[in-house]
Structure 1
Amino acid sequence: MAFAAMGCVQLGLAASIGLAGSLGSEGVAWLRLAWAAVILVAFARPWKLKFTRFTLGICALLGLATAGMTLGFMKAVETIDLGTASALEFMGPLAVAIIQGRGAGRWWALVAAAGVLGLTEPWNAAADLRGVLFALGGAVCWAVYVLLTQRAGDAIDGIGALAISMPVAALAATLVVGPGVIGRMDVQVLAIGFALALLLPVIPFSLELLALRRLTTAAFGTLMCLEPAIAMIVGLLILHQIPRPAAVVGIVLVIIAGIGATRTGRREPIKPLPTADGPELSLDGTAEIRG
């Protein structure tokens, strides 16, 4: 499920980049989020689920983080390669893993830093600074998402958390970019947007939620570390983006750092969450859902 989710993510991003040429990156991001919200609400029917104020608040924050990830990443790939943008955005969950790491685990931050240098090559100004900043902004949002997702996923059955967070993300994106892109929509674009929303984020988000319930922290985190490499391969095969040698080394270093940090990481004990039915729900594991 985790591999399928990562494949859907990168294929969806590659297709989104193609559509961005006519609709704009912000338009594609908004369209995906809007359709995803409609699909998830229709499928999960959140009005039939029980929420506490706490879980609703967590889901709302997840929605804001999702909007930030989606808009930031789409703006990043306007000017930098898909593999580079994915690796830079991966700094978010990697930073969480390093901060929560034990002892020597935090030394993986140096490996990750070396990877970032290889990806951006600041001595040559190889990577567009604007694109790098957007990707790092997406990384911050992803880190927030990592810290919140498991709480929502464990407190709410099925994909109920997504049925709340995705409409919030769509609303946030509408407030930010909606007025400038809604007028550019037609039937064909809407149909393409529906297909893109299934490919990213509906299917991968749902698969990752299910995978988180079946895999250990280390196993899931290690699998997710492979996403920058998958992004580089998709960018090469579909978008014909040939990575620079330093960028290839940088992506490899980021993957190594991610695997090392995940293997030495831990989740701090947290208080049980209140549920709508009254009993407390204890939590185990961690979360690294891609948005």
Structure 2
Amino acid sequence: MVDQQATASGGGLSGSGNAGLFTGILLCFGSMSSIQFGSAFSATAIHAFGPSTTTFLRLVMAAVILALIVRPPMRSYSREQWKSAALLGATMAAMTLCFFAAIARIPLGLAVAIEFLGPLAVATWSLGKGWRLVWPVAAFIGVVLLSHDGAGWVGDPVGMLFAVGAGIGWGTYIILMKKTGAVFKGLEGLSMSLLFAAIAAAPFGLPRVGEALNPEGLGMMLGLAILVPLFPYALEMIALRRMPMSAFGILMSLEPALGALAGFLVLSQPMTPLQMLGTALVVAASAGVTSSGNGEGEGKTA
């Protein structure tokens, strides 16, 4: 536990620290791919059962699966641990409810681009002042370009508002995930947080849950629960123990690019040259700020 917290503190990145950072980057890429393609594959379930019920059942199944694997010793947890898990769980529920409501109304790439403003704010705060702020600015410009299809802004206002809500949740999630990972062993924090997330999402998802209680619906939800949130959340919690929060936050800036790619490949949502330029800017900003953080050899942590 002490070693894990020391790794998460984002200290020197030489030697074994460089290896930890590289592993964290790979874990982030795995998480982002799972989230974006899982979200794209969720379109069928969202259309059939609604975004709230889809979110609720995914969280329930993910919570049950991980609890059976981890078997968290609930009676031994302190008040601080319960509080951390509850806050992270509520944030997970709000973030996923808003995001699925957004992609039910607007293209996946646009939803992710708007949602990205949350981690962008976290990355900007973590980097501090100076020339390094050019990278978040470049990423923001890229997000704006991704939000435009060449003829006009894409999506309806309600969907965009849900995406903004998801972005606020995402920025909060990054901070709380780091804190929760530091006070729990292994994946116990994630297991407890998912239980709280399922409880928080219940009032929104229960009204239509009966529509999904059939072999086809439950099988679909089980697959989605593994893709989003179980697999990516586990990867992110492990990644945050191996890299500074600033590097994590900006690496997640690749989400709009992966979201646009998943939307194109799975949902046949095309990308214009303008949106491709936006993707290139986001990728460049991610690479630039990661290099800056690695050169400094340190980063702020929550």
Residue equivalent to 1:118: 145
Counterpart position of 1:155:
183
For residues 254 and 209 of structure 2, the distance between their equivalents in structure 1, rounded to whole angstroms, comes to 35
Q: Secondary structure at the match of 2:127?
A: coil
Q: Which has the higher helix share?
A: 2
1:39 to 55, 62, 65: 65
Structure 1 residue 179 corresponds to structure 2 residue 211: no
- Structure 2 residue 94 is matched with structure 1 residue 72: no
Indicate conservation of the 8 Å contact 2:58/2:225, yes or no: yes
Aligned to 2:261: 233
Q: Is the 8 A contact 2:57 2:221 kept in 1?
A: yes
| CA–CA distance in structure 2, aligned partners of residues 191 and 117 of structure 1 | 37
Offset, 1:219? 5.3
How high is the TM-score relative to the length of structure 2?
Answer: 0.79
Contact 1:98 1:261 in 2 (8 A): no
TM-score by length of 1: 0.82
CA contact under 8 A between 1:37 and 1:170: conserved in structure 2? yes
User: 1:136 — aligned with what?
Assistant: 164
Which amino acid in structure 1 is aligned with residue 211 of structure 2?
R
Give the alignment's Cα RMSD to 1 decimal: 2.6
Q: Unpaired runs of 5+ in structure 2?
A: 1-26
Partners of 1:141 and 1:262 in 2: CA distance: 23
How far, CA to CA, are the matches of 1:232 and 1:203 in structure 2?
21
Q: 2:113 aligns with which of 87, 110, 122?
A: 87
Instruction: Confirm or deny: 8 A CA contact 2:107 2:154 kept in the other structure.
Output: no
Given residue 196 of structure 1, which amino acid in structure 2 is its aligned partner? L
The more displaced of 223-232 and 109-118 is 109-118
d(CA) in 2 for partners of 1:253, 1:181 = 41
Structure 2 contact 190–237 (Cα < 8 Å) conserved: no
Q: Distance in 2 between matches of 1:237 and 1:79?
A: 18
Question: What is the Cα deviation at residue 73 of structure 1?
Answer: 0.8
Range with greater deviation from structure 2 (234-243 or 46-55): 46-55
* CA distance, structure 1, for counterparts of residue 254 and residue 177 of structure 2: 20
**Alpha-carbon offset, residue 195 of structure 1:** 1.6
Aligned to 1:100: 126
Over 3 Å counting, the alpha-carbon distance change for 1:88 and 1:47 in structure 2 is same
- Greater alpha carbon shift after TM alignment, 9-18 vs 124-133: 124-133
1:237-265 CA deviation, whole Å, 9 max, x = no partner?
A: 11111023333333333344444455556
| Aligned-residue offset at 1:143 | 0.8
2:187–2:234 Cα contact (<8 Å) kept: yes
- Given the superposition, is the C-alpha separation of residues 259 and 50 from structure 1 closer, same or farther in structure 2, using an over 3 Å criterion? farther
- Does 2:271 correspond to 1:243? yes
Q: What residue is the counterpart of 2:13 in the other structure?
A: none
TM-superposed CA distance for 1:136, in Å, is 1.2
